[in-house]
Amino acid sequence: MKRAIVILVVFPCIAYSSLLRYDSDSASLTYAFRALDLARKMKDKKSEAEACQNLGKTFLGMSQYKQALMYFDLSGKLTRLLRLPDDPIVAECIGSCYKGAGNNKLAVEYFLKALDLYKEKNVENKRYNVFVSLAMIYAEWGWDDHALEFYRKALEIQMGDNDSTAAAYTLSNIAGIYSKSLGNEKGLEYNHQSLMIFRKLNDFRGIAYVLNGIGIYYNSVHKYDSAKIAFREAIRNYQKIPYYEGMSFAYSNLGEIFLKENNQAQALTCFTHSIRLADSGKSEIARCTALTSLGKIYLQTGQIKKASSALHLSLEIAVSRNFKEAMADNYLALATLYKQKGELNPAFHYGRLYIETRDSLFRENSQKVIAEMEARYEAEKKERQIRQLTKENELNKLAIHAREKITLISVISSAVLIILLLFLARFYYLKQRAYQHYVRLTVDHIKKEQKIEPKEFLTASQRLIEELIQAMSAEKHFLDPELTLAEVAQKLNTNTTYLSKAINDLLNKNFSTYINELRIREAQIMLSDNEYCKLSIEGIAISSGFNSKSAFNSAFKKFTGVTPSFFQKSALKKPLGSVRNRQVTA
């Protein structure tokens, strides 16, 4: 009887699990949950672990990474409880979950674990997907040497298995890494190898993908005619499928070429086509990219209203999908747009958002580099633990090997540190440019400020605030460092309670904040005027109504986000050059 119960448990679980490969996502989830419920009812831990693994794989296929990780975690606990060996496929799936969720540090850890497990089980030919995933992460982090190493390992397995399609895409990815270096013809060579394979397979999507990469290479070396031919041929091949997102990117890339040639009419046509195709393919990233380029063309040609519409639409998509690079591009373009219109408040607002987004990108990219270094450290730590468990007769050889490896690690660590410092210096430079742009917007805003004219039909509180503003503008009482609310109230023939309430209600700030803002504005005027450049920062602080240099520095940084010395240097410099438009790539 007990044996019959086991058969009843195992066979339905196997049947439900086998159905997962042939049904839709919703049906797969249904079968997986039934298998899990049945295994739990019969208290079969092994079948329960397999059902949790199947649920994790199904949620991974649906890009629901949080749910997938939850079931993989349950499966791992049951596997350890039963003392079953770890499954490399599960480790690979967990790595894919973390990669999809944006946690590349943990993704690298699990992908490396999957490689070790595949090696232990002597099924190394199944490792090429892990190699490709690792290569993609390393390429994203800018570690091109490591990316090339893993792409080549994947390519070796793909060629051995005669998987021509996978090999062709890997060759194209290798070409993309080489194409990052301007004028590197290896990128073109690998793209042509990939193109030959796709043409033999009659794979139109693959052909178009490679042609787009070839066009990007020719664009990078300023061979615009060759780039246009490649992009147009890519579009024709995408049309045969059809694949709208690919066509959208190809049209955007073609539009960038026309824009460099100052052929704005053709560029406008290309970007319009790109938006239409992105809508057909329901690709938000393609639509966002094309709208940004379209907005910049309208801005160049003086079509401010159309530019504003395109840039705001692009920004809406970028914010909803957290495309931070696109957000930064749109913030800067909108700051420029409103500055041209003479609307300095929104220009100042978008300039500040541009600074904040650039700062965020700086922090994220720094964290990616640090995460890569930590992942490499964990891998080295694991290798050291393995070496400690080897036999006694191998210790001498391992000691020699360890010394060589330490030397190599030291060299690599030094190179990594240098690259990290260069990387941080580059982003610090971009951050400084952004702050200088903000200072110039502030200076322009100060120069174009108009005096507030008295208005009729005001309430008593409004009239009091008008009198306060006029008194401060005409007599500059705020320059007195000992100025009090009572003194101002006396000058305006009112009481402190009424004046304080009017400032709070109508200006949304207290008296101290209002006076300090006036002092900071006076200091900004002096810092941006060549006539006061001989004064020290302390002299300007005293002249603008502050008791001390430290109080002035603290208040200035609080209200403007930058130091007085940085503001002065930026304000007295020549205007910054325009930021070059970022190339759109597929």
Rounded-to-integer distance, Cα 223 and Cα 261, Å: 11
Flag whether pLDDT at 577 surpasses 80. no
**114: pLDDT strictly greater than 60:** yes
Domain positions in the chain are 323-449, 460-572
CA distance 59 to 8: 27
- Closest by CA to 254, choosing from 273, 241, 282, is 273
Please report, as a single letter, which amino acid is at residue 487: E
Q: Residue 317 has which token pair?
A: 């998509």
pLDDT tens digits, 419-477: 878 877 776 777 667 666 667 677 666 666 544 444 455 688 888 889 889 988 888 88
Q: What is the CATH number of domain 460-572?
A: 1.10.10.60
Per-residue confidence (pLDDT) for residue 238, from 0 to 100:
92
DSSP 174-194: HHHHHHTSTT-HHHHHHHHHH
The residues, ordered by sequence, that sit 6+ positions from 412 with a Cβ below 8 Å of its Cβ are none
Q: What is the mean pLDDT of the chain?
A: 80
* pLDDT value at residue 366: 54
Identify the weakest region by mean pLDDT among 84-93, 317-326, 558-567, 574-583: 574-583
More confident residue, 179 or 399: 179
The secondary structure of 356-412 as a DSSP string is HHHHHHHHHHHHHHHHHHHHHHHHHHHHHHHHHTS-GGGHHHHHHHHHHHHHHHHHH
180 pLDDT band, cuts 50/70/90, is low
Residue 13, pLDDT above cutoff 50: no
Once rounded to an integer, what is the mean pLDDT over residues 75-85? Answer: 89
Structure confidence at residue 364 (pLDDT): 58
Examine the pLDDT at 215 and tell me if it is beyond 70.
Answer: yes
Confidence class for position 147, pLDDT limits 50, 70, 90: confident
User: Of the given ranges (125-134, 180-189, 331-340, 448-457), which has the lowest mean pLDDT?
Assistant: 448-457
Give residue-wise pLDDT tens across range 248-297.
999 999 998 998 888 988 999 999 999 999 999 888 888 998 899 988 88
Q: Whole-structure pTM over 0.75, yes or no?
A: no
State yes or no: pLDDT of 182 exceeds 60.
no
The contacts of residue 506 (CB under 8 Å, 6+ apart) are 461, 462, 465
The number of beta carbons lying within 10 Å of the beta carbon of residue 495 is 13
